[in-house]
Amino acid sequence: MAKSKIAYFCQSCGFESPKWLGKCPSCQQWNTFVEEVIEKGNASVPAWKPASTSQQRANKPVQVADITYAEEHRVPTPDKEFNRVLGGGIVPGSLVLIGGEPGIGKSTLMLQLALNMPHQKVLYVSGEESDRQIKMRAERLSPPPPPKGGAKNSASTNFDDKQAPPLGGGGGGACYILTETSTQNIFKQIESLEPDLVVIDSIQTLHSAHIESTPGSVSQVRECTAELLRFAKETSTPVFLIGHITKDGMIAGPKILEHMVDTVLQFEGDRHHVYRILRTIKNRFGSSSELGIYEMMGEGLREVSNPSEILLSHRETPLSGITISATLEGMRPMLIETQALVSTSAYGMPQRTATGFDTKRMSMLLAVLEKRCGFRLGAKDVFLNITGGIRVEDPAIDLGLAAAIISSHEDMPIPFKTCFAGELGLSGEIRAVNRVEQRIAEAQKLGFNQIFISKYNLPASGQDKKRMDLSRYNIDIKIVSSIEEVFGLLFG
Ligand code: TYD
Ligand code: MG
């Protein structure tokens, strides 16, 4: 046995150092170094080795013009939201990381995908749950829409067989479950099964015989990912990795993997709400600002193709403190309900809480309303809430929130079927937002009567007016330039 080698790894960014350090020179975090035993090259079992002998082949430079590739070859999944975040489907040979907090639904999402891939042999490797647990979960998941023949997911599963048993699946594919954590054993099974798609749940549970440290440590996670990356590229088999991250993103793993993988998806949402958002953080094969929305049901995740309709509550009478904002998540317009509650503070210290919205930005909104419009909010408790448990960073909801705050403060409801899209500047001006036409179109589609937008969204007089023709919308577009003007129009 070779002499074991010890190194220290920053658990935050993966920086490697031969000796222990108090502060990481790379990410400036304190107390993040952990000793790990690494031992390279003495393992008798090989890492991923392709059947062919092309492994040692050295690449030669080629001219870009000489590189041929088959016209955009992607495998679409039955899940439209998932296709959207991937940029149109699964790219062969891609390595995709799906990160998220424990319990958010990563295993559910991936298992659902694995069960429903049409005409594909999927290997689902789990290091976290037993095959029986996975079977139980699979039973809960809603069966895929029955194929034309009408046959439903046949439960021809035999778990006494130690080999990965097929769970059956919709659309003619087959899903095999393998409960294993050693990468060498996984590759052995992959070689005999030859799957079209591999899912690893999760990367933190894997270990490679080439490295001595424990599963989940920086060096293990990195080595296992490197092996899977090699496998994916050499066989053109797409691999999905599930990775856990905690609230502050501190756990070793996904953070340091982001640069190794082709695509990083983040599954997020409030565990107490039913909506989950799958966000593209990085994508070598598509836009990185895409977003998929799901609803967590008793029988698995359901795609939400029209988010606006569910994020709006259907009230009979208008209430004060509630407005609708036209926001954009990625490329996707969405109408959301923005709520505010302003009440007299019972204690000396007024409370300010925002759910789904940045607290600093809320303080800014309150300061603008106080200074520019003369509302006395200093001694008031203010609570803001974005319904549905989603988090919005789009500044275009400023105007809707400001209107909600004043509506609650004055106890005057905002007229029905009114929505807002504008950013609030420090002087109380309403600033332009991006893709305003998409927002207007969405509001019109959902039957709104009027929308408030910034004057600065209109092209300057000298410019080509054709570029933005508001007359083609049959929704009342209120063009405003300052917050006072908005309140004048709303509350008279
Ligand atoms: P899971 O996929 O195990 O999360 P992760 O792999 O990210 O840790 O999902 C866990 C939660 O999802 C669990 O609290 C139960 C819930 N759930 C449902 O609500 N409906 C379902 O059909 C399934 C399978 C899970
Ligand atoms: Mg899981």
Q: Is 104 in the pocket of ligand 1 (CB under 6 A)?
A: yes
The answer to whether 340 and 408 are in contact (CB under 8 A) is yes
Question: Which pLDDT belongs to residue 166?
Answer: 57
Looking at the CA of residue 140, tell me the nearest atom of ligand 1: 22
Q: Nearest ligand to the C-alpha of residue 297?
A: 1
Q: Which atom of ligand 1 is nearest to the CA of 108?
A: 2
- 21: tokens are 């350090």
pLDDT in 10s for each residue of the chain, 492 residues? 556 678 888 877 778 888 999 998 888 888 888 888 776 555 455 566 655 444 456 778 888 888 776 656 888 999 999 998 998 899 999 999 998 888 889 999 999 999 998 888 999 999 989 989 999 998 888 665 444 433 334 333 333 334 444 555 555 578 999 999 999 999 999 999 999 999 999 898 999 998 888 888 888 888 999 999 999 999 999 999 998 876 555 444 556 788 889 999 988 887 777 888 898 888 998 887 788 889 888 888 998 888 777 777 777 788 899 999 999 887 788 899 999 999 998 877 899 999 989 999 999 999 999 998 889 998 899 999 998 778 888 999 999 999 999 999 999 999 888 999 999 999 999 999 998 998 998 898 888 999 999 999 887 765 555 567 788 888 999 999 999 999 999 987
| CB of residue 107 inside a 6 A radius of ligand 1 | yes
Residues 248 and 383 placed together within one structural domain of the fold: no
299 and 276 belong to one structural domain? yes
Last residue of a domain, one of 276, 305, 334: 305
For atom 22 of ligand 1, the residue with the nearest CA is 300
CATH number, residue 153: 3.40.50.300
Inside any domain, residue 51 = no
Q: Of all atoms in ligand 1, which is nearest to the CA of residue 296? A: 19
Please indicate, yes or no, whether residues 290 and 323 belong to a single structural domain of this protein.
no
- CATH code at position 337: 3.30.230.10
**Tokens representing 394?**
């789009």
Q: How far is CA 222 from the centre of its chain?
A: 22
Counting the structural domains of the chain, the total is 3
Query: CB of 140 closer than 6 A to ligand 1?
Result: yes
The beta-carbon contacts of 76-79 under 8 Å, at least 24 apart in sequence, are 77/113, 77/116, 77/117, 78/116, 78/117, 78/118, 78/144, 78/170, 78/171, 79/112, 79/113, 79/116, 79/303
Q: What is the model's pLDDT at position 40?
A: 55
Question: Whose alpha carbon is nearest atom 9 of ligand 1?
Answer: 105
Q: What is the pLDDT of residue 61?
A: 87
Residues 487 and 416 placed together within one structural domain of the fold:
yes
Residues 360 and 298 in one domain: no
62, part of any domain:
no
Which of 98, 106, 108, 301 to mutate for ligand 1's pocket (most ligand atoms within 8 Å of CB)? 108
- Decide if 424 is inside a domain: yes
CA of 355 to the centre of ligand 2 (A): 26
- Please state whether the peptide bond connecting residue 408 to the residue before it is cis, i.e. omega within 30 degrees of 0: no
User: Domain for residue 49, yes or no?
Assistant: no
CB-ligand 1 contact for 137 (6 Å cutoff):
yes
Measured N-to-C along each axis, helices 398-410 and 483-491 cross at an angle, to the nearest 10 degrees, of 50
**Ligand 1 binding pocket includes 282 (Cβ within 6 Å):** no
Q: Residue 334: exposed, middle, or buried by beta-carbon count in 10 A (0-12, 13-18, 19+)?
A: buried
Question: Ligand 1 within 6 A of 103 CB?
Answer: yes
Whether residue 485 is found in the same domain as residue 337: yes
Q: Which of 251, 296, 297, 299 to mutate to test the pocket of ligand 1 (most atoms within 8 A of CB)?
A: 296
pLDDT of residue 315: 73
Q: Which tokens is 184 given?
A: 């060498």
Cα–ligand 2 centroid distance for 160 (angstroms): 23
Q: What is the pLDDT, as a whole number, of residue 340? A: 95
Those residues with Cβ within 8 angstroms of residue 216's Cβ, 6 or more apart along the chain or in another chain: 204, 205, 251, 252, 253
**Which domain-ending residue is among 305, 325, 355?**
305
Same domain, 104 and 220: yes
Instruction: Check if 478 has its Cβ closer than 6 Å to any atom of ligand 1.
Output: no
Same structural domain, 253 and 358: no
Q: Do residue 347 and residue 298 come from a single domain?
A: no
Q: How many C-beta atoms lie closer than 10 Å to residue 141's C-beta?
A: 17
If you compute the radius of gyration of the chain from its CA atoms, what whole number of angstroms results? 27
Q: Please indicate, yes or no, whether residues 297 and 323 belong to a single structural domain of this protein.
A: no
Neighbours of ion ligand 2 (CB under 5 A): 107
Q: Of all atoms in ligand 1, which is nearest to the CA of residue 202?
A: 6
User: Which strand ranges, in their side-by-side order, compose the sheet holding 16-17?
Assistant: 16-17, 5-10, 33-38
pLDDT of residue 471: 83
Same domain, 410 and 481: yes
pLDDT of res. 145: 47
Q: Would you say the CB of residue 300 lies under 6 angstroms from ligand 1?
A: yes
Last residue within a domain, chosen from 262, 280, 305: 305
Range of the domain at 23: 5-39
Are 283 and 367 contained in the same domain?
A: no
User: Taking a C-beta distance cutoff of 8 angstroms, is the pair 198, 237 a contact?
Assistant: yes
- Indicate the DSSP class of residue 75: B
Q: Is the distance from the beta carbon of residue 127 to the nearest atom of ligand 1 less than 6 Å?
A: no
Our answer on whether the CB atom of 106 is closer than 6 Å to any ligand 1 atom is yes
